[in-house]
A and B are shown apart, each in its own frame.
Chain A
Amino acid sequence: MDSVLINGHKYDFEPGETILEVARRNDIDIPTLCYLKGATPTGACRMCLVEVKDARGPMASCSTPAGAGMEIYTETQRIVDARKLIIELLLISGNHNCAIRGVNPEQWTDYQQVVEEYDKADDICVAYGECKLQALAYKYGVYETKLNRIPTPYSLDDEDQLIGRDFSRCILCGRCVQACNDIQVNNAISYGYRGNLAKIVVKGDQTLALSDCVHCGECIDVCPVGALFEKKNRFDSRMWAVEHVRTTCHFCGVGCQLDLYIKDGKIVRVRGIEDSQPNQGRLCFRGRFAYDFIHSDERLTKPLIRKNDSLVEASWDEALDLIVSKLNEAKEKHGSDSIGCVVSTKNTNEDLFQTKKFFNSVLDSDKITHFEPGGMIGIPYEDLAKAATIIVAGSDLTKVNPVAATFVKQAVKGGAKLFIIDCQQTKIATFAEKSLNDLAELDQELDGEAILLHAPGYDITAAEKMANLKIHSINKENNTLGAYCLDIVPQADFDVAKLKFLYLTGATIEKRDNLDFLVVQNLFADQATAMADVVLPAAVWVEYNGTYVSSDNRVNRVRKAVEPPGEAKPTWWIFRELARRMGHSWDSDDAQTIWEQEIIPQYPHFSKVNYDSLQGDGVLISQQPETALKATVKISTGIKRPNFHKILCEHCADIKDIVARKFPESG
């Protein structure tokens, strides 16, 4: 293997590796501003300059491939001087009003006033303490400058509801352009104009609010300075001053890893976790911005009991006692089979397990179901980006699983062929080479290996026999696969009309039919709670611990980050309390014990996956509930599967308008 000498030490490299990659792999720090992992290096910022012996001048290490025998020096005086000059030029290029900017005391106030006039904020730069430029200025001791500040020719864009653009702090590194075009492939921003007028533009150089932006927010995450910021938390949550909790996103089946930033018991910001699997730091609009529903005033906070035809607040004891007496009554009068439950596949495994245990072993009923078709993706998402041919069948991928869609769009950008089979027009179809009418047509198009990605429940019989075709699917809900793993599958013969007692956590009904008693557990009042005899306030996602099984067969942790509102409780707790009242005392009193003491021993596919092993990116389990996934989904008459994504987004006061304007029918 060939090698290079970096600062006198010998390091091997793979063909094609850049100097920067070799250095970083060996823990040699070379500073960068514009370099974005996973995107083509642009060499724009020149921070990563290194000296290469016998080269004409300093080389940008991010874009120079390592060559056999190269002698490289990363911190010579010449290089340090060059970096200092670059930092100095960048500092004077914009409103970098952190303490770094060295000016004498009289000028300091004037300078801050100029900045304030531009950004209409009396606070210091939004990126203070997180800014890469500021950090480098400290590192290289750049404080003073003899040069004059160049005024910014463009005014602040704060027309958009969520994302602000501060051109006075933009260093034109282009990371946002790469994140938008190369990573997320949403193609909303580009470089525009040139020279000292250069600017990051959207279509027609309008405001972001009027652009093609889909608000994935990836650009904010990659901005090294304070040029792009989230508007709602602009100054009140300096990210280094608030605690953060890693968890798994609860929207779709991808199971993105994200950091929740918590201030005063509320979530104030969400960021993707860099280099994490499965999402590699990427998030979508919902994952990043749709969290306000958690703190909504409309959340149910107390149990409600129907008295004289109206729902009145009650204690948990009253509500649970009433449910238990009605359960006993139904069981005695009509038998166990008259009691049914529709679970939500948004629940944690621990919730689902307790629910099933309660119905199976306490009530002796097997009428526990959900209506979510299940799917699984048997390859890492990054393999999608490397595929030569992809077929998307029946799935509005950019809407349902936006982060998975980024990998497909990346593949197309890299030259892969994409075929779409769908009866409706979808956004992912605009990336396709061709739209096909049905799977049978696929046979003529395929040569070589291909990946078929279909919506769960989509009929793929015609494709099953095709050679070289790998078939995958990604769930709409976060823990659908968890439900299948725990043997909670759609029951084709689940019929509300035959039930007397119904417990709903994941469905809504239009009319009560023959039901004697209806319990609805929910976050918000809706059509079903209005008909219920007892309404129970459920805790959500960030309010308790648990696990999900994401669509790539990955068990991942969800962690408590905030307290539930009022008296809202996790599902597993509710069923534990019901069981206790029916004479079954269950030992496990927290999610970890339920998982480790009860679920693991019963379900061999989870063996050895204890909470300790679920740090970081979780654990991929090898056994798969494939036969269960083929269960037919027949929705019982009178029951509706709610569009959870839409409902949750609609309860986020701060993004309601954007949802209505940009994603009218999706959420």
Chain B
Amino acid sequence: MQIETQVTEAFRQLLEEEKLNGAKRQIDDLLIDYRTKPGALIPVLQHTQNIIGYLPPVVQEYVAQGLNLSSSSVYGVVSFYSFFTMTPRGKHIIRVCMGTACYVKGGNEICKSLQKKLAVGPGGTTQDRQFTLEVVRCLGACGLAPVVVIDDVTHGQVDPSKAVELLEPYYS
């Protein structure tokens, strides 16, 4: 059908731009797998986000078509959960804690220095898509305040200049 091919074509183009060969196959398998299962949308979106990195409207429409759902309802789910993102995210996620303990120990200054270094605001992603800077509320590691988490590694007692140094191993 005409509409279907339009959606598929736009999706194919996006994957090409993202240099994600083979991603379409993976996502198609996923869609076939989940097609008949009730409540399939959220797991499919999770996997798809893992594969592509983010869920722009083009991807949402492709998923909607594959699961026989409306594009508006898929958008509703994606926009509801903070876990899903519609903009590209960096290879590495930096989370700066702004919980009470970290904040009084200088979390804000740490965040500012990282913003300056990366040239992005909170929630932003660097142009080279290496880093996404996020601000979070309390990671439950108040004893280590102020805390910065990069991917899965937690760094305690950070200061503004140390925070910038922490990034060095990730530039590759």
B70:A190 contact, CB within 8 angstroms: yes
Given A204-B57, A425-B1, A189 contacting B72 (CB threshold 8 A)? yes
- Contact-residue size bin, chain A (C-beta under 8 Å from the other chain): 10 to 19
Residues of A within 8 A of B159 (CB): none
Task: Flag if B76 contacts A430 (CB, 8 Å).
Answer: no
**Contact present for A212 and B71 (CB under 8 Å):** yes
A632 within 8 Å of B (CB atoms): no
Which A-chain residue is minimally distant from B1 (CB atoms)?
Answer: A425
Q: Which of B1-41 contact A (CB under 8 A)?
A: 1
**Are A203 and B57 CB-contacts (below 8 A) given A181-B70, A190-B70?**
yes
Within 8 Å by CB of A204, from B61, B68, B80, lies B61
The answer on a CB contact under 8 Å between A211 and B80 is no
Q: Is B48 an interface residue (CB 8 A)?
A: no
- The yes or no answer to B161 lying at the interface (CB within 8 A) is no
Complex CA gap A188/B75 in Å reads 11
Task: List 28 interface pairs A-B (beta carbons < 8 Å), by A numbering.
Answer: A187-B70, A188-B72, A190-B70, A190-B73, A191-B76, A191-B80, A192-B75, A192-B79, A192-B80, A193-B80, A202-B72, A202-B75, A203-B57, A203-B60, A203-B61, A203-B71, A203-B72, A203-B74, A204-B57, A204-B61, A204-B71, A205-B79, A211-B72, A212-B71, A212-B72, A425-B1, A430-B1, A430-B68
Which of B64, B73, B75 is the one whose CB lies under 8 Å from A205?
A: B75
Specify which of A204, A425, A430 is in contact with B75 (CB 8 Å cutoff).
Answer: A204
Does chain B have a CB within 8 A of A201? Answer: yes
- Tell me the minimal C-beta distance from A486 to chain B in angstroms: 41
Interface residues of A in 174-202 (CB under 8 A from B): 181, 187-194, 201-202
Q: Which residues from chain A sit less than 8 Å from chain B, CB to CB? A: 181, 187-194, 201-206, 211-212, 425, 430
Specify which chain B residues have a CB less than 8 angstroms from the CB of A194 in the assembled complex: 79-80
> CA of A189 to CA of B75 in the docked complex: distance in angstroms?
10
Selected contact of B70 from candidates A191, A203, A205, CB within 8 Å: A203
Interface residues of B, Cβ cutoff 8 Å to A: 1, 57, 60-61, 64, 68, 70-76, 79-80
A193 to B84 Cα, complex, angstroms: 11
Query: Tally of A-B residue pairs with Cβ under 8 A?
Result: 55
Q: Are A201 and B70 in contact (CB under 8 A)?
A: no
A193 and B71 form a contact (CB under 8 A): no
B36 to chain A, nearest CB (A): 11
How long is the Cα–Cα vector from A206 to B86 in the complex, in angstroms?
A: 14
Known contacts A181-B70, A190-B70, A193-B80; A203/B75 CB under 8 A: yes
Cβ contacts under 8 Å, B61 to chain A: 203-204
Q: Which one of B1, B60, B68, B70 lies within 8 Å of A212 (CB-CB)?
A: B70
* Residues of chain B within 8 A of A204, CB atoms compared: 57, 60-61, 71, 75
Contacts of B71 in A (CB 8 A): 203-204, 212
Is B76's CB under 8 angstroms from A201's CB?
Answer: yes
Top 10 A-B pairs ranked by shortest CB distance?
A203-B71, A204-B57, A187-B70, A190-B76, A190-B72, A190-B73, A192-B79, A192-B76, A193-B79, A203-B72
Cβ of A430: which chain B residues have Cβ within 8 Å of it?
1, 68
A425 cross-chain contacts in B, Cβ below 8 A: 1
How many angstroms from the CA of A181 to the CA of B69 in the assembled complex? 11
C-alpha spacing A181/B79, complex, angstroms: 19
Which residues of chain A come closer than 8 Å to B73, judged between CB atoms?
Answer: 181, 187, 190
Bound complex: CA of A193 vs CA of B81, how far in Å?
8
Let me know if A201 and B72 touch, CB within 8 A.
yes
A193 to B80 CA separation, bound complex (whole angstroms): 4
Q: Which residues of B contact A205 (CB under 8 A)?
A: 57, 75, 79
Listed residue (A188, A192, A193, A206) with the most chain B CB atoms within 10 angstroms of its CB: A192
